[in-house]
């Protein structure tokens, strides 16, 4: 075994991998010293907290919400299996949640300097977000209603065509 | 030693997310991750470059008044004299920076969702290489979210981050881009292979019923026990795209202005604070920075310093001097901007000549505003000598309003908004 191969085996990857990482960490350290120059603990909490808040709180929460919604829909007695109902809930919830995730400081009037600095009021934002949310959910409810009606009609037409006793199931 | 390592690597994963059967989404896999990765591979460098340009636009090398990060050292290696042509340059670059940042939020979320099983891979550290790479990934994910959050909070004036926005966002960007570059180096090959592994058009024609998991991958993104699909890969990409589109629609109007401003339903500068000549967007009102009418009343004078004794002018005397017009926008670091406003006032070049320094290399502009960030700023020679660079006295056919900098304000083409100092009371030209 050559020396290089021994090194690679001990390290766990190609030596190039190590060089690239060291180069990156050097830049990180150079900028990091300056980033952490004032209020280092708080900055560190923000930096690492950002990753934790997303990976261990936000993502599990929305995954759990999605799982719960799916299990509720699955236990509906008369569910129509041909329609993935969940997406009629998922899409408006995702879009509305996303808009709030980005613009919540204005919607909840959390940025106290905003009205004074800009000469604009932040009263409008929560109402607008609620209206957008209502429109999104309303539009998807309407789309689902239309789709369900089409499916029921098709099912009834099928039943009428097929002889009694055959159930009309495909 | 060997046996210890062997024993550790045989340790079964703890229950929960560390078990391969825990993550069940049938659409997770290298192809989907790579689609989101490719979008970010294009988008993040655009964000970084436009961000770096914004730093250059402040002309930080003119001194601490223009530089919020004076200890930047080598990180300012690329700085150059910010041009005044085209006059809409900063409006464009910063509009792109902010709007693109907002629009990429769902792509970032989707990318992170698609690789979440990797966070819980077992063993947590398999080798030195693996450990170092995971440390770099913490910097990548932490850095990405840190940059997006500080940026998005700052444009809403939600100043809860620990310190100056400029310091955090600038150095944070370098930490992030260092981790981003290494991630690109290590994963580019895998991304291209994954993208080639499936035909895009076929994917775009595949509905939920025909959606099958990707073949097992060495990274463990593809679930070991996939659930029945509830969304196709086409649906997932479409959903993320719809999210980006929704954010674009409720945001971009504040950077385009005109009739489209009101379409930015949720953006901070989506309507004008007033009507008439002075009705356009305000960054900081006079009241918010403690500029009172008394400070700019009849006793106000403009001092012009240069070679020889200082010159002192009343507003009436300034109005009587040869005035020039320029149609220029206000463009803010927060990404919003106004359409061109019709300014009228004295050319900075003429004032420099009056001060006996017709080839002035810089000018210190001081405001009556009590000392604070951007109560004074430096302008460079190329900005002084652009014929459209004015000490404006009037706008859109009327006197400046107090909120727009009455009695006199700077307006320079392609200059970031805060460097167009308002309520000017002293100009000091230097060689």
How does pLDDT run across A75-86, given as a tens digit for each residue? 765 555 556 789
The alpha carbon of residue A34 is apart from the nearest alpha carbon of chain B, in Å, by 7
The predicted pLDDT at position B8 comes to 65
Over the range B99-117, which residues count as b (16 or more CB within 10 Å of their CB) and which as e?
Answer: bbbbbbbbbbbbbbbbbbb
What percent of chain B is modeled with pLDDT above 90? 94
Cα–Cα distance for residue pair B22/B25, rounded to 1 Å: 9
Inter-axis angle of helices B128-155 and A15-35, nearest 10:
40
Residue B104 has pLDDT above 70, yes or no: yes
Tell if the CB–CB gap between A34 and B112 is shorter than 8 Å: no
Taking contacts as CB-CB distances below 8 angstroms, the residues of chain B near A11 are: 127-129
The stretch B73-99 carries a mean pLDDT of 97
Name the pairing type of β-strands B424-430 and B362-367: antiparallel
Structure tokens at B2: 């060997």
Mean pLDDT of chain B: 95
pLDDT digits (tens, 9 = 90+) for B187-219: 999 999 999 999 999 999 999 999 999 999 998
Q: Give the Cβ contact number of residue A55 at 10 Å.
A: 19
Residues 90-109 of B with CB under 8 A from A: 102, 105-106, 109
> Is A1 an 8 Å CB contact of chain B?
no
Cα–Cα distance for residue pair B224/B247, rounded to 1 Å: 35
Location of structure tokens 């009327």 = B398
If phi > 0 it is left, if psi is from -120 to 50 it is alpha, else beta; for residue B36 that is alpha
Tell if the CB–CB gap between A111 and B157 is shorter than 8 Å: yes
Asked if B34 and B191 touch (Cβ cutoff 8 Å), the reply is yes
**CB-based burial of residue B380 (10 Å sphere; 0-12 exposed, 13-18 middle, 19+ buried)?**
buried
Neighbouring C-alpha atoms within 13 Å toward the C-beta of B205: 5
> Is B128 an 8 Å CB contact of chain A?
yes
Closest residue in chain A to residue B129, using alpha carbons only: A12
Taking contacts as CB-CB distances below 8 angstroms, the residues of chain A near B282 are: 117-119
Helices (H), B226-380: 233-249, 253-256, 315-320, 348-354
Taking contacts as CB-CB distances below 8 angstroms, the residues of chain B near A38 are: 163, 167
DSSP B95-125: HHHHHHHHHTHHHHHHHHHHTHHHHT-SSS-
Residue B355 has pLDDT above 80, yes or no: yes
- Under 8 Å CB-to-CB from B87, ≥6 apart: which residues? B328, B329, B388, B413, B414
Residue B285 has pLDDT above 80, yes or no: yes
The alpha carbon of residue B181 is apart from the nearest alpha carbon of chain A, in Å, by 8
Location of structure tokens 């190329």 = B382
> Is B282 an 8 Å CB contact of chain A?
yes
Cα–Cα distance for residue pair A142/A148, rounded to 1 Å: 10
Residues 380-419 of B with CB under 8 A from A: 403
Tell if the CB–CB gap between A30 and B75 is shorter than 8 Å: yes
Of A24, A27, A113, the CB nearest to B157: A113
Tell if the CB–CB gap between B71 and A103 is shorter than 8 Å: no
Assign 3-state DSSP to chain B and report helix, strand, coil percentages, each to 5: 45, 10, 40
Question: B100 falls in which pLDDT band (50, 70, 90)?
Answer: very high
Cα–Cα distance for residue pair B119/B13, rounded to 1 Å: 13
> Is A21 an 8 Å CB contact of chain B?
yes
Of B159, B239, B250, the CB nearest to A94: B239
Cα–Cα distance for residue pair B126/A65, rounded to 1 Å: 33
Cα–Cα distance for residue pair B367/B349, rounded to 1 Å: 19
Structure tokens at A97: 């949640």
The predicted pLDDT at position B313 comes to 98
Cα–Cα distance for residue pair A97/A108, rounded to 1 Å: 14
Asked if B61 and B79 touch (Cβ cutoff 8 Å), the reply is yes
Asked if B166 and B67 touch (Cβ cutoff 8 Å), the reply is no
Tell if the CB–CB gap between A114 and B167 is shorter than 8 Å: no
> Is B16 an 8 Å CB contact of chain A?
no
Q: How many CB pairs under 8 A join A and B?
A: 198
Tell if the CB–CB gap between B178 and A27 is shorter than 8 Å: yes
ipTM of the complex as predicted = 0.95
- Under 8 Å CB-to-CB from A161, ≥6 apart: which residues? none
Taking contacts as CB-CB distances below 8 angstroms, the residues of chain B near A29 are: none
Residue B68 CA, chain-centre distance (Å), reads 15
> Is B84 an 8 Å CB contact of chain A?
no
Structural domains for chain B: 10-255 (no CATH), 287-430 (3.90.420.10)
Least reliable range by pLDDT among A83-87, B68-72, B105-109: A83-87
Q: What are phi and psi of A84, to 5 degrees?
A: -75, 85
Location of structure tokens 């292979």 = B193
Location of structure tokens 């999104």 = A136
Residue B282 has pLDDT above 60, yes or no: yes
Q: Pick from B374, B139, B163: which is nearest to A34 by CA?
A: B163
> Is B129 an 8 Å CB contact of chain A?
yes
pLDDT along chain A (170 residues), means of 10: 83 93 97 96 95 95 94 68 80 98 98 96 97 98 93 86 53
Tell if the CB–CB gap between A91 and B167 is shorter than 8 Å: no
> Is B159 an 8 Å CB contact of chain A?
yes
pLDDT digits (tens, 9 = 90+) for A87-101: 999 999 999 999 999
Tell if the CB–CB gap between A95 and B246 is shorter than 8 Å: yes
Closest residue in chain B to residue A70, using alpha carbons only: B230
Taking contacts as CB-CB distances below 8 angstroms, the residues of chain A near B266 are: 99, 102-103, 106-107, 125, 128-129, 132
Q: Give the Cβ contact number of residue B18 at 10 Å.
A: 16
């Amino acid at each position: 075994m050559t020396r290089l191969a021994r090194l690679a085996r001990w390290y766990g990857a190609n030596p190039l991998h190590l060089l690239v990482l060291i180069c990156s960490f050097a830049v990180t350290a150079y900028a990091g010293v300056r980033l952490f120059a004032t209020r280092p603990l708080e900055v560190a909490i923000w930096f690492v907290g950002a990753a934790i808040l997303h990976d261990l709180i936000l993502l599990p929460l929305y995954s759990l919400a999605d799982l719960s919604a799916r299990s509720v829909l699955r236990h509906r007695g008369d569910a129509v299996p041909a329609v993935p109902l969940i997406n009629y809930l998922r899409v408006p919830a995702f879009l509305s949640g996303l808009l709030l995730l980005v613009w919540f400081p204005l919607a909840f009037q959390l940025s106290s300097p905003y009205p004074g600095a800009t000469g604009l009021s932040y009263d409008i934002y929560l109402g607008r977000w609620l209206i957008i949310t209502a429109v999104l959910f309303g539009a998807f409810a309407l789309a689902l209603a239309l789709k369900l009606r089409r499916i029921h009609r098709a099912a009834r037409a099928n039943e009428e065509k097929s002889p009694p006793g055959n159930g009309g199931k495909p | 030693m060997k046996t210890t390592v062997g024993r550790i690597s045989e340790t079964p994963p703890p229950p929960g997310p560390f078990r391969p059967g825990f993550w069940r989404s049938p659409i997770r896999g290298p192809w989907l991750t790579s689609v989101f990765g490719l979008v970010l591979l294009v988008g993040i460098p655009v964000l970084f470059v436009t961000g770096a340009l914004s730093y250059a636009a402040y002309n930080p090398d003119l001194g601490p008044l223009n530089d919020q990060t004076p200890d930047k050292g080598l990180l300012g290696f690329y700085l150059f004299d910010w041009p005044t042509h085209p006059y809409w340059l900063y409006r464009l670059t910063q509009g792109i920076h902010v709007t693109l940042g907002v629009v990429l939020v769902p792509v970032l979320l989707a990318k992170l969702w698609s690789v979440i099983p990797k966070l819980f891979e077992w063993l947590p550290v398999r080798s030195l290489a693996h450990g170092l790479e995971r440390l770099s990934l913490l910097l990548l994910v932490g850095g990405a979210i840190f940059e997006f959050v500080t940026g998005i909070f700052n444009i809403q004036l939600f100043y809860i981050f620990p310190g100056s926005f400029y310091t955090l966002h600038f150095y944070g960007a370098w930490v992030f881009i260092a981790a981003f570059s290494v991630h690109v180096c290590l994963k580019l090959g895998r991304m291209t292979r994954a993208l080639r592994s499936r035909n895009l058009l076929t994917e775009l024609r595949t509905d939920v019923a025909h959606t099958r998991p990707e073949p097992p991958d060495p990274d463990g993104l593809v679930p070991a026990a996939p659930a029945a699909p509830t969304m196709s890969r086409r649906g997932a990409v479409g959903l993320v795209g719809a999210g980006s589109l929704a954010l674009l629609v409720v945001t971009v109007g504040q950077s385009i202005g005109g009739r489209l401003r009101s379409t930015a339903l949720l953006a901070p500068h989506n309507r004008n604070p007033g009507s008439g000549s002075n009705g356009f967007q305000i960054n900081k009102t006079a009241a918010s920075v403690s500029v009172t009418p008394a400070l700019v009343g009849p006793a106000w004078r403009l001092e012009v310093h240069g070679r020889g004794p200082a010159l002192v002018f009343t507003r009436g005397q300034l109005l009587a001097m040869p005035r020039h017009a320029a149609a220029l926008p206000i463009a803010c670091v927060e990404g919003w901007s106004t359409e061109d406003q019709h300014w009228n006032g004295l050319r900075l070049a003429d004032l420099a000549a009056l001060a006996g320094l017709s080839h002035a290399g810089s000018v210190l502009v001081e405001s009556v505003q009590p000392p604070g960030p951007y109560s004074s700023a430096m302008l460079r020679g190329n900005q002084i000598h652009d014929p459209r660079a004015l000490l404006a006295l009037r706008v859109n056919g009327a006197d400046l309003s107090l909120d727009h900098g009455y009695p006199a304000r700077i307006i320079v083409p392609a200059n970031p908004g805060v460097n167009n100092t308002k309520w000017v009371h002293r100009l000091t030209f230097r060689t």
